[in-house]
């Protein structure tokens, strides 16, 4: 347990030192890593439900969007300040998680996936329907003048990075504390064999609901933070793709590992960034120059490279990168 705590503190300290000594000289990566930390917070919450409890949700974007809109609409329409709007956004996600949990957890397996997807689509369509307030897929921006807390300007790149780091660190350490607690061990037992867990006297429904609400709260905190730190809210974040993204991040980094969501988010973010920005356009140019074949579609087919990476992952590291490391070399990884 001590080794796990030290490892997580070292990771957080490393992220702190990266900003202090490296990122301030690279504005592009400075902004990217702040965004990654917010999205990794989302993935940490998803990992509690999927990686540790074994529940595959295809509608987690509704919690991210609930936090985002709960915060952003209060700032835009209600003219609330940042701090109370943020906490109301998290509360919206927690409440939605409780409601969805009571209904969706009465199903199992594929049924749970479908019900969560249906709920998420309802939230997405609602965001599109009330276009007057949400501006639909176009979204709306939050003015820089109101994005501050106690005189601290959250639009400043350094401040924004550290705010994202604080949020991620809190959720990461909460995740570590949870999985090493009695409740966390029960969640893992439910993932491995729910019937046997029930025979031991535990109530699986209660623990799964607990995991779903905690997961929804972290997703909502990430959504609210995204709105505040990057000044934007849009219905795109409630769409199916933003329910699939955290699944991919967790699968890549290692489901059921506390640091897997961070590693998976970093790798997937930069894989997509490089593929769409240089690799695939360069490959398209190479094909055209050497074979005389016009390949304009190849330049935008960056998801082809992402798909290939996922196929290789399934073949050679089915438990994700950190999951495979734990299985082969470091069994004490949480």
Which phi and psi angles does 149 have, rounded to 5°?
-130, 120
Q: How many domains does the chain have?
A: 1
The SS3 of residue 153 is strand
Q: Are strands 152-153 and 148-149 parallel, antiparallel or unpaired?
A: antiparallel
User: 114: which 2 tokens?
Assistant: 């479908």
Distance CA 298, CA 133 (A): 38
Determine, yes or no, domain membership for 92. Answer: yes
Q: Is 300 helix (H, G, I), strand (E, B) or coil?
A: coil
**Tokens at 27, concatenated:** 């504005």
Cα 326 to Cα 257: distance, rounded to the nearest angstrom? 9
Q: What pLDDT score does 33 carry?
A: 93
Query: For the segment 246-290, what is each residue's pLDDT rounded down to a tens digit?
Result: 999 999 999 999 999 999 999 999 888 877 765 556 555 555 556
Q: How many Å apart are CA 264 and CA 248, to the nearest integer?
A: 8
Question: What domain range includes position 133?
Answer: 2-239
In a domain, 46, yes or no: yes
Give a yes or no: residue 186 inside a domain: yes
Is residue 146 a part of any domain in this protein?
Answer: yes
- 51, 62, 70, 219 from 59: Cα distances, Å: 16, 6, 17, 11
Q: In the chain, which stretches have pLDDT less than 70?
A: 23-25, 277-302
294 occurs within a structural domain:
no
pLDDT tens profile 34-71: 999 999 999 999 999 999 999 999 999 999 999 999 99
**Domain contains 94:** yes
Tokens of 94: 């927690």
Inter-residue contact 220 to 98 (CB < 8 Å): no
Residue 136: exposure state from Cβ atoms within 10 A (0-12, 13-18, ≥19):
middle
């Amino acid at each position: 347990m001590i080794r796990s705590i030290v490892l997580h503190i070292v990771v957080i300290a490393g992220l702190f030192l990266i900003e202090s000594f490296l990122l301030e000289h690279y504005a592009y990566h400075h902004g990217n890593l702040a965004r990654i930390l917010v999205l990794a917070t989302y993935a940490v919450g998803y990992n509690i439900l999927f990686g540790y409890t074994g529940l595959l949700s295809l509608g987690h974007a509704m919690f991210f969007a609930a936090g985002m809109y709960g915060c952003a609409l209060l700032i835009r329409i209600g003219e609330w300040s940042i701090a109370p709007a943020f906490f109301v956004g998290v509360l919206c996600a927690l409440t939605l998680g409780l409601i969805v949990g009571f209904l969706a957890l009465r199903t199992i397996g594929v049924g749970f996936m479908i019900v969560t997807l249906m709920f998420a689509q309802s939230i997405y369509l609602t965001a599109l329907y009330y276009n007057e307030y949400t501006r639909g897929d176009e979204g709306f921006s939050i003015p820089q003048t109101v994005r501050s807390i106690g005189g601290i300007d959250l639009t400043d790149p350094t401040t924004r990075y550290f705010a994202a780091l604080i949020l991620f660190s809190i959720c990461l350490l909460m995740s570590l504390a949870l999985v090493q607690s009695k409740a966390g061990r029960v969640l893992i037992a439910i993932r491995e064999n729910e019937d046997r867990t029930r025979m031991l006297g535990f109530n699986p429904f209660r623990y799964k609901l607990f995991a779903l609400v905690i997961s929804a709260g972290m997703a909502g905190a990430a959504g609210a933070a995204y709105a505040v730190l990057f000044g934007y809210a849009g219905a795109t974040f409630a769409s199916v793709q933003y329910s699939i993204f955290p699944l991919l991040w967790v699968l890549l980094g290692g489901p059921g590992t506390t640091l897997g969501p961070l590693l998976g988010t970093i790798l997937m973010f930069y894989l997509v960034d490089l593929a769409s920005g240089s690799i695939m356009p360069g490959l398209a140019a190479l094909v055209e120059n050497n074979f005389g074949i016009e390949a304009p579609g190849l330049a935008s087919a960056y998801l082809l490279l992402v798909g290939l990476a996922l196929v290789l992952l399934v073949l050679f590291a089915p438990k994700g990168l950190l999951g495979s490391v734990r299985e082969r070399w470091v069994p004490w990884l949480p």
